[in-house]
Structure formats: structure tokens, C-alpha cells
Structure 1
Amino acid sequence: MESIGIPTRVQTAFRMSEVAEPYIRRRAVRHLEKGRVVIFAAGTGNPFFTTDTAAALRCAEINAEVVLKATNVDGVYDDDPRRNPNARLHDTLTYHEVTSKDLSVMDMTAITLCQENNIPVVVFNLTKPGNISKAIKGERVGTLIGGTWNSTVAMT
């Protein structure tokens, strides 16, 4: 990102001073206020918490508008598309649909944290050119959980 002129900071719960600064909520918010992109790396620093939960937690802590979950499939399907060629891609889902259908999008702690904090989740394919840009701009890409496509989900 920095190579194309986007000011960026990486923060991590683990001490890695050579590659990232420590995660401090106030510092992260300040970077965002200055127009920088903040990348949260290495989870929460606590055992038993996935990186999905870390993403949901950090989003809640900084009052982010959306979680962008980049993955290796086009979004959330009703079945595994690698095993079932007839699997159907969902355009939108509610948090309740994710939990009640036990869709393996994110762990239940992460999806519940997003639901409790009204944070929509966009699940999209990281490997398709242009998808990251679409997700950041709030354009339709992948599956939207907990929101509607006609509302603004782009990060500001």
C-alpha cells in the first residue's frame, strides 16, 4: 500500500518492534483520523481466540463500519463449493442465518461480536483482481452479512 502512496501502519498484540507497532486503541484511532490505513496483525495475543474474533474485536474497539473478510472463495455458500458444484452463493445473510445454519464463515464468537455491535461483514475472494478495491469502496462483492447492499458499507 505504501508503495502506491497510501500511508499505512501495522499494529500487533505481540511485540514485534522491527515490523509493527504495538496495538494501542487510541493510537489506532489517531492513525485513522490522520487518514492512514491501519492493519491489525497477529490476532489478539490471547489463546483460544481466532483471527476472525480478533478482527471483530478490533473493529468494535475502533468503531469501524465493516469487517472485510478476504478468503479464497467468492463469498458464503450454502455448501462447500469445492466439493459441491451446485453450491449456491448467498448475496446477503443475516447474523441469525449464519448462526442457525451453522455456516462456517467465521467462528461464532466473531459473528456474535459483529451482531452485538452492528458491524456488517463482507466476505469476498481475495484472489480475484479488483475485489479488494470493490470491498473498500462498498461495491457489491461476495456476501454481505448483517446489512443491505443499498446502505453504505465502505470504510471512511
Structure 2
Amino acid sequence: MDRGRAAVFPLIEEVVENAKTHQILIGAGGGTRARHAYSVALDLDLPTGVLASIGCATSRQNARILQMLLAKHGGVYLNPEDFEKLPLYFRVGCIPVMVGMPPYEYWEKPSENGRIPENRTDSGVYLTGEFLGARSVIFVKDENGLYSDDPKRNKHARFIPRISAHELLAKDLNDLVIERVVLANMLKAVNVREIQIVNGLVRGNLTRALNGEHVGTVIYVA
């Protein structure tokens, strides 16, 4: 969303095309506005639960924007308590869009490393997929996948196409394209034992991932 029309519209077209053959549930992230909001909240010395509530609000804004852009193609906004409506939405050809942030808000547990909530939008998307028994959970980012370091700052960062959650946690990398708590949750998962991270700025990547191709980075639990 942060990159505007040039990035979002082609991706929306790809989602609409794939919704004809796949049941797609979209979880929206918070993006740059969430990071800015967290920064302000930290300056104000607000607790973790309040930061989580703020993060939920920014994610909700993006979810609403996406739903409005998808409305003419069947995009509907899905509240967390309305999961029982998903079969109906899919049956009539809708594309549900929901807040990526888990609904813990004020009840988010304090983090061991500061006051930023551990469970943010990546966590919420993964937990939703695990809860629903999704066939796949795909994270659409603005990077090609996982790197050994931030590729925007380190041109020598090594691309990692496939790695286990155990190994990735053991590496304890300084920069991760996905929230660490997702990896910890994967170790306890029953349904979703593999996730995929793709670059949504490259047209066709989402389609390939939905069709089961290895594009981007795959993180798995053996």
C-alpha cells in the first residue's frame, strides 16, 4: 500500500484473476504508517497493549482501502468474529479482506524485547491460516524473499530460497523479512507447516505461488 497505485493496482488485477480458481483470503499489513505510529507511541511511553491497538487501527485502514478497491470484483470486508461467513463468501465468489493484525489489542502480552507487540500483521495472517487449515499462507512483500541481511542496506546480503524454521531461529539474523514470532508459532503448528514469501512488485509471482511453484523464499517445519 505504501508504494501507491503503481504497485497496488497490478497486484489487485492478479488477485482478481486468481480468485476465479483459488479461494483467497487477504490479510492487510500496516506498512510505513504502522511503523511511524509505533515510533510516536514509544516516544509517549505507551504500553504494549496500546501499541497493539494502534497497529490494529493502521492495518484496518489498509484492509478497508483494499476492500474498496476490490469491491467491484466481489471484495468484502471480513471482521475477525465473522469467520463463519467465509464459506458463504467463497461460495458466491467474493474476495474477503481482513485486518492482518490479530485481535489481541489491549490484551497483547508484553514483549521480552521492548514494547513493540510481538504479534503484528505477519503473526495474525499466519495464525488465521493455521486456524482455518489453509492450503497455503503466502506473504506478499516488496522484497524477493528472505536474505541474510537487509538487502536495501547491504548489497552483499545473501538470498535464502529455502530454510527450516528451526534453522532460521538458530541463525538469529539481525534483519528478518517476517516477524520472528511466526517462526516460533510454526514449530507448534498442526495445519500450516510451510509458508512462502514472494515479491508482489513482480507481476506473476503471486500466481506462481498460488499454483504451487517455488518462487521467493519457502520456510518450513520438517
TM-score range, shorter chain: 0.7 to 0.9
What is the rounded CA distance, in whole Å, between the counterparts of 1:113 and 1:83 in structure 2? 28
Mapped pair 1:106 → 2:178: yes
Aligned to 2:131: 61
Take 1:67 and 1:113, find their aligned partners in 2: how far apart are those partners? 13
Q: Percent identity?
A: 22
Per the alignment, in what secondary structure is the counterpart of residue 20 of structure 1? Answer: strand
Q: CA deviation at 1:28?
A: 2.4
TM-score by length of 2: 0.55
Structure 1 counterpart of 2:78, which letter? E
Match of 2:79 among 3, 16, 22: 22
Whether the 8 Å CA contact 1:28–1:62 is kept in 2: the answer is no
Q: Secondary structure of 2:160's partner? A: coil
- Equivalent pair of 2:145/2:197 in contact (CA under 8 Å): yes
Which structure is larger by alpha-carbon Rg, 1 or 2?
2
Structure 1's unaligned 5+ residue stretches are 149-156
CA distance, structure 1, for counterparts of residue 120 and residue 146 of structure 2: 18
After TM superposition, the score normalised by the length of structure 1 is 0.74
Assess if the C-alpha contact under 8 Å between 1:71 and 1:123 holds in 2.
Answer: yes
CA distance in structure 2 between the aligned counterparts of 1:95 and 1:128, rounded to whole angstroms: 25
Offset at residue 137 of structure 1 (A)? 0.9
Give the superposed CA RMSD: 3.3
Q: How far apart in 1 are the matches of 2:26 and 2:143?
A: 26
Cα 1:112–1:34 shift into 2, 3 Å: farther
Between 1:130-139 and 1:78-87, the stretch displaced more is 78-87
Q: Distance in 1 between matches of 2:194 and 2:213?
A: 14
Gaps of 5+ in 2: 1-12, 29-55, 69-75, 106-116
Indicate if the aligned counterparts of 2:195 and 2:218 stay in contact, CA closer than 8 A. yes
Change (3 A) 1:5 1:63: closer
Shift in Å, 1:37: 4.4
Contact in 2 for aligned 1:11/1:21 (Cα 8 Å): no
Q: Deviations over 1:42-100 (max 9, x none)?
A: 42232333001101110011001222011111110112212222211111000012211
Aligned length: 147
Partner of 1:131: 205
Cα shift at 1:130: 0.9
User: Aligned equivalents of 2:202 and 2:27: distance in 1?
Assistant: 26
Q: Does 1:70 align with 2:140?
A: yes
